[in-house]
Amino acid sequence: MAILHGWRYCPRCAHDLEPGDGCVRCASCGFVGWANSAPCAVALVEDDEGRLLLGRRAVEPYRGMWDTPGGYLHEHEHPLVGLRRELLGETGLEIEPIAFLGVWMDWYGNGPSANSTLNMVWRARVVAGELQADDDVAELAWFAPADLPPEEELAFGLLPSVFAAWRRVQA
Ligand SMILES: [Zn+2]
């Protein structure tokens, strides 16, 4: 229940919360807070030479580490809408998905209140736009499959497994 770690009072009415099975409940107003994973859409953007687009994070956590473009979905947003929104914002590129690669679980942040993330990963290609890094991206760069950054330079624990799956479908 990492996302609910330290929750003591109802965010709606400020009554004391009671811990439940994977949730917290408010006996006063009926509010229930569930410890769900947060859904994220992630793009493995490939160019015509088979290279992969990565961004170096300009913000904490994992500042200075390499990451795949993507991010948290908004409420009720379709993952592919969120994928296109995140890519346009982070990279200035309009993309279209080529194929769904899979789902990976991970954590965002460290410590007892880290967020559990559910990451949906698509291979994608650029259809329009100019490469332009957003403020929270220090740098964008293309990497050949054999030249991807080493594990210690990657922001998130899921990335080595994602890259391995990507290399398998490239081969
Ligand atoms: Zn309440």
31 CA → ligand 1 middle, Å: 5
Q: Cα dihedral sign for 85, 91, 97, 103?
A: negative
Distance 22 CA to ligand 1 centre (A): 17
Phi, psi angles (nearest 5°) of residue 3:
-70, -25
Q: Pick the closest to residue 57 from 93, 99, 109 (CA basis).
A: 109
Distance of CA 3 from the midpoint of ligand 1 (Å): 18
Distance from the CA of 18 to the center of ligand 1, in angstroms? Answer: 10
Q: Measure 24 CA to ligand 1 centroid, in angstroms.
A: 10
Q: What is the pLDDT along the chain (171 residues), one digit of tens a residue?
A: 588 888 999 999 999 999 999 999 999 999 999 999 999 999 999 999 999 999 999 999 999 999 999 999 999 999 999 999 999 999 999 999 999 999 999 999 888 888 999 999 999 999 999 999 988 899 999 999 999 999 999 999 999 999 999 999 986
pTM of the model: 0.92
3-state helix, strand, coil in the chain (%, to 5): 20, 40, 40
